[in-house]
Structure 1
Amino acid sequence: MQVVVNVDDLGLHPAVRRAVEALAARGSVTSASVLANGPDVRAATRVRGVSLGAHLNILRGRPLSPGREVRTLLGADGLFLGDYGALWRRVVARGVKLDEVRLEWSRQIERLLERGIALSHLDGEKHTHCWPALMPVACELAQGHGIPWVRRSSDPFVPLGSPTAMLRTWLLRRWCRRAVAPAGVRFPDATWGIFDQGDRLDPRRMARALRQAPNLEVVEVVCHPGEPHSADAEIDPSFGRLRVRSLWEPERRRLDDDAWRQVAAEEGWTLTGFDGIAASNRGRERGATTR
């Protein structure tokens, strides 16, 4: 099994960048997804040693597009809505124009390409790219830009816990099972870390979960480590109040533990970036049919 350990939100804050660099050097993080509209994006695009992708975002912060071009994505303050439920309700009510989503996401991808990143994958802030109306847009953009991987946020095991988190994880899995990858685009077979976050980001916990879903070839671990310093500024207020800040340090500690490499060896996992998988599976990709 090939396992990609991917850090979301690179570009949001220097703390995330520090964690990616430190954990990549230890070999426990292999990939990261960059917020093109993040305040730390300039420095983040210089990170090396991991595969880099675009963390597509129509949920938080300022758009890259002029406001008049993406009106249905914004609140009265000209920012993205900053509220998962509010965005979901607007999408379900068909109050969001998909052409505006396509335009904003395209600009985010192009901004990162302009900064010299060879994008290996796409995913979305809070997995919004997996919503039924939005996944085809993400896949279309991946195909059009030659980006070989799109996250399929399908956690194979949902343990007992918060009813809201359980429902969201279950819905994501259900939606993702219906998703179809176009030619030239692949999905990981499963994603882990959507429900198990913070101190629950434990490799042995992951191993137990994955044993319940046999025949997996590629699994993505979603994580949110950070290494804040006392002199750091707060997260840009345009991004609103973020729960992810509380995950930074516990997840950094978990990923800094030698247990990840030990469990990988015991379970026969190969820790790799998305670019490593693409390189080792070119023959199979050429012969693959659209799912």
Structure 2
Amino acid sequence: MMSASSSPRHSIVFHADDFGMNAAVNAGIEAAFREGLLTSTSLLANAPAAEDACRVWPALMADVQTRRLSSLERRHMLSDPLIPFDLGIHLNLTQGRPLTSNDFSPELLDEEGCFPGIGKLFARINHASDAQMKSVEAELRAQIEWMIARGHHPTHLNGHQYIELIPRIAAIVPALLHDYAIPTVRVACERGLFRSVLLQGDVTGWGLGLVKRHFARAFRRRMANTNVAFPDRFFGTSHAGRIDDATMTRFLASARGTRMTEIGVHPAIDPGPDTPAESDPWFDPLAEFRSKELKLLCSSKLAEELRSRQFSLGRLSALATETWATEAT
């Protein structure tokens, strides 16, 4: 156990999902690392720009090692350890096509052979046969192995549109974490939704947030029985593309007293005119909002607020190491 004399670190992980979705998202995530305070991202292995994301990563890590980041001064102010950033796997069953192609159960796809979206996935997977669930597990394993084959072992695991919270998928996650030695997982059990969502007038978002929190509590109990680590708190389940200064302040105020808090963000540069149409399987409903979150992550105001609240920047990978070390003493 941690001794009473030791001072626990109060750190923030800014995590960006969707790495590999498209060029605008890739560029925004890279900029948020280089110029802002992003510390973590996760890869969409079946996405159109996933290969490009994998090619970008080594150069970014080299610049971390040689201290060639525009955000270096602000990171130093926030006691960033300047160790490699986190790169996890963003498991996906809701968008694009499966990597396992014809081996994936067609009953869990739409008429075009694409994943059907979160609503239809949730409805169908609850009635899926054992054979269909085996195809789901095979697809999730294929996505992890795709990433590993390109030289990137996941530091953590989470799901696109929070699919890891769906009970039948949640039941698969412990085996994935164990078999691929993934030490950290997202547990999106968010408190404070009344203040950060409902009081802002978003009744629908509040309702969806409560549903996610219901499933996240069960997922947290499941993960507590494994050897994987997860941050004390998570914020952002109902705020994709809508995190502004005031929302971030509410998150940080609610993070007081924690060892580590993860905040989910969705940065990107402005996508330009050649964005996918709504009928495209890779249509991004957050496209017009993402650049605002990139600007927030790169702002000196955010850095100053973190400093004034005595937060440091953290890593999910370090949390896993610290958890192991604490349990071993």
- TM-score normalised by structure 1 residue count: 0.88
Alignment of 1:278-289 (within 5 A): 278-286=320-328
> Amino acid of the residue matched to residue 61 of structure 1?
G
Tell me the residue number matched to 2:133.
98
Tell me the residue number matched to 2:207.
167
> Is the partner of 1:150 in helix, strand or coil?
coil
Tell me the residue number matched to 1:56.
91
Q: 1:113 to 1:201 in 2, by over 3 A?
A: farther
1:212-267: CA deviation from partner (whole Å, max 9, x where unpaired): 46542221111111113547564796525331212221211221211221121122
Find the aligned partners of 1:207 and 1:231 in 2 and give their Cα distance: 33
**Would the aligned equivalents of 1:2 and 1:271 in 2 still touch at CA under 8 Å?**
yes
**Would the aligned equivalents of 1:63 and 1:79 in 2 still touch at CA under 8 Å?**
yes
Q: 1:221 to 1:254 in 2, by over 3 A?
A: same
Deviation at 1:27, TM superposition (A): 4.3
Tell me the residue number matched to 2:304.
262
Q: 1:35 to 1:237 in 2, by over 3 A?
A: farther
> Does 2:121 align with 1:87?
yes
**Would the aligned equivalents of 2:229 and 2:320 in 1 still touch at CA under 8 Å?**
no
CA RMSD of aligned residues (A): 2.4
Tell me the residue number matched to 1:177.
217
> Is the partner of 2:172 in helix, strand or coil?
helix
**Would the aligned equivalents of 2:270 and 2:287 in 1 still touch at CA under 8 Å?**
no
> Amino acid of the residue matched to residue 173 of structure 1?
R
Find the aligned partners of 1:74 and 1:285 in 2 and give their Cα distance: 43
Indicate which of 154, 164, 168 corresponds to 1:133: 168
Find the aligned partners of 2:275 and 2:255 in 1 and give their Cα distance: 42
**Would the aligned equivalents of 2:21 and 2:49 in 1 still touch at CA under 8 Å?**
yes
> Is the partner of 1:154 in helix, strand or coil?
coil
Find the aligned partners of 2:282 and 2:144 in 1 and give their Cα distance: 23
- Who wins on radius of gyration, i.e. which is larger? 2
> Amino acid of the residue matched to residue 250 of structure 1?
K
> Does 2:233 align with 1:190?
yes
Indicate which of 50, 53, 57 corresponds to 1:41: 50
Tell me the residue number matched to 1:19.
28
Deviation at 1:146, TM superposition (A): 0.6
**Would the aligned equivalents of 1:60 and 1:80 in 2 still touch at CA under 8 Å?**
yes
- TM-score normalised by structure 2 residue count: 0.79
Indicate which of 239, 244, 247 corresponds to 2:289: 247
| Alignment length (residue pairs) | 285
Find the aligned partners of 2:277 and 2:259 in 1 and give their Cα distance: 37
> Is the partner of 2:168 in helix, strand or coil?
coil
**Which stretch of the first structure deviates more once superposed, 148-157 or 265-274?**
265-274
Tell me the residue number matched to 2:105.
70
Tell me the residue number matched to 2:142.
107
> Does 2:259 align with 1:222?
no
Find the aligned partners of 1:67 and 1:118 in 2 and give their Cα distance: 26
> Does 2:230 align with 1:206?
no
